[in-house]
Structure 1
Amino acid sequence: MIFCFSGTGNSRYIAQRIAEALQKTVIDLNARIKDNDTTTVDTGSDVIMVTPTYAWRIPKIVSEWMAKTKWTGAKRIWFVMDCGSEIGNAAKYNRSLAEQKQLHYMGTAQIIMPENYIAMFNAPQVDEAQQITAKAEPDIQAAIKCIQKKQEFPVPRNNLYDRLMSGPVNPIFYKMIVKADDFKASEACTGCGLCVRKCPMNNIQLREKKPVWGKNCTHCMACICYCPTEAIEYGKKSVGRPRYQFEKLTGVK
């Protein structure tokens, strides 16, 4: 079984590619987390967890969901993580999650995909995003082959920088950076409510037909990137930056 959490589509695309190759089912973790659904899942023996990289680990909301949810039949787990540049030492923490679930840890694969974190970085234009996605193809295929053969992924890089970012920097980043305080909607907002529906944390409400953000944000960028009128800004940091949706990459389905 394949579990997938995705903010703006990168991880969803990778999960779908793996699902097609393995003829497996993809479970949408966005929906399960949004619904607070922690009912038991009959996974079968092989579990593939596909997620983006948040602060050099898998998203905290995903690891928390894993801890709360019972899996039956699971024996092995592979982690596939996409990122704009690097996953740090995420593998160490993924191994620990596997041990907590009493599963054989089959490794962590890094897939570099287009950047979407416009609260801090520039998302690429369509041409560049397509090039990055095409360059990721061999890594996606390599991950699929390992899973098909029930082989462990190659051990990822693990230097001092990686250990620092996934270790002490991760909780600091969440505490200091991962907040919804700077999200605001301009007069261009139509009150369509798509941001409310896209938020996996139920952190957005419409008040007088305008979105209002709470304190429970994971910085998935779904609200700002999927807004049909680009009415949402993250302070001044997102002004003028292209919004990123994987689905809008021309020629990529």
Structure 2
Amino acid sequence: MILYFSATGNSRFVADYIANSAGDNVVRLNDIFKSGAPWVFRSQRPFVIVSPIYAWRFPQKIEELLKKAQFQGSDKFYCIATSGESSGNAGICVAKILKNRNIDLAGFANIVMPDNYLPGGEMPDKETAVKVIRQSLPKMQEICRLINANQSFRMDFQCKNGWFLSSVANWGFNVFEKNSNSFRVDDKCVQCKKCIDNCPTNNITLQDGKIKFHNRCMFCLACIHGCPVHAISYKNSKNGFYQCPSEKDISEK
């Protein structure tokens, strides 16, 4: 069973790639979180979690899922991260969480995907994004081979200064930056409610004809990147918007 969380499609792309290789089914965690469905998952095949990295760790919601969810059937567990560069010590953090539950982390790896961290800089155009993903395909293929063979691996498990990045820097991100008070909605908004539909934590509502943000934000930024008229911004950022290219885009020469 492949369980993934994705806001702009990077982790979805990797999850679908692994699922197609294994002939396995895919579960979109965004829908699980939004609906409030029980965190109970049953599979006789390995569990594979695919998630983006937020400030050198898995998002807090994903770590909470790893701590609390019921995983029934298979005792094989893999975690695959996606990030613009480094996953820090996310592998160590995940392994500790699972060890406390007597679950062995069979494999961890980080797949470099187009960097979509909006506050960090300009978003990649389609050509750049396609190039980055194509460069990561051999690593995806190797990860699929190892998972399909039930083999263990630990790639990108930690990095230089990872302890600082995945602890102090991550704490700073969650305390100071992960704040929807800095979101702005301009007059281009057509009240299509797509941002409401895309929000995995039901943090966005329409009140008195205006989009309102509350205090449950994961900072996935699906609302910003998925707005069809680009009416939402973060601190009035002019860094553009991003959606992961499709499999067809990647395969075209």
TM-score under structure 1 length normalisation = 0.93
**Shift of residue 196 of structure 1?**
0.3
- Return the alpha-carbon distance in structure 2 between the equivalents of residues 116 and 110 of structure 1: 15
1:228-247 matched pairs, under 5 angstroms: 228-236=228-236, 238-239=237-238, 241-247=239-245
CA deviations over 1:62-116 (Å, ceiling 9, x no partner): 1112323212113011111010111001111111122234222112111000011
Q: State the match for 2:180 in structure 1.
A: 180
1:68-147 matched pairs, under 5 angstroms: 68-147=68-147
Instruction: Give the secondary-structure state (helix, strand or coil) at the position aligned to 2:178.
Output: coil
Q: CA 1:157 to 1:31, structure 2 compared with 1: closer, same or farther past 3 Å?
A: closer
Q: CA 1:157 to 1:2, structure 2 compared with 1: closer, same or farther past 3 Å?
A: closer
Q: CA RMSD in A?
A: 1.7
- Return the alpha-carbon distance in structure 1 between the equivalents of residues 139 and 47 of structure 2: 19
Which stretch shifts more, 68-77 or 177-186? 68-77
The letter for the 2-side match of 1:31 is D
- Return the alpha-carbon distance in structure 1 between the equivalents of residues 182 and 249 of structure 2: 34
Q: State the match for 2:195 in structure 1.
A: 195
Instruction: Give the secondary-structure state (helix, strand or coil) at the position aligned to 1:55.
Output: coil
- Return the alpha-carbon distance in structure 2 between the equivalents of residues 226 and 249 of structure 1: 19
**Shift of residue 235 of structure 1?**
1.2
- Return the alpha-carbon distance in structure 1 between the equivalents of residues 157 and 149 of structure 2: 23
Contact persistence 2:109–2:154 (CA under 8 A)? yes
Which stretch shifts more, 166-175 or 82-91? 166-175
- Return the alpha-carbon distance in structure 2 between the equivalents of residues 208 and 132 of structure 1: 43
Q: CA 1:74 to 1:171, structure 2 compared with 1: closer, same or farther past 3 Å?
A: farther
TM-score under structure 2 length normalisation = 0.93
1:34-49 matched pairs, under 5 angstroms: 34-49=34-49
The letter for the 1-side match of 2:7 is G
Work out the percentage of aligned pairs sharing the same amino acid: 28
Unaligned runs of 5+ in 2: none
- Return the alpha-carbon distance in structure 2 between the equivalents of residues 158 and 117 of structure 1: 21
Instruction: Give the secondary-structure state (helix, strand or coil) at the position aligned to 2:49.
Output: strand
**Shift of residue 42 of structure 1?**
1.0
Q: CA 1:65 to 1:78, structure 2 compared with 1: closer, same or farther past 3 Å?
A: same
The letter for the 1-side match of 2:171 is P
Q: State the match for 1:209 in structure 2.
A: 209
CA deviations over 1:153-181 (Å, ceiling 9, x no partner): 24426344112101222122200111101
Contact persistence 1:7–1:221 (CA under 8 A)? yes
The runs of at least 4 consecutive aligned structure 1 residues that moved more than 6 Å come to: none
The letter for the 2-side match of 1:48 is V
Instruction: Give the secondary-structure state (helix, strand or coil) at the position aligned to 1:79.
Output: strand
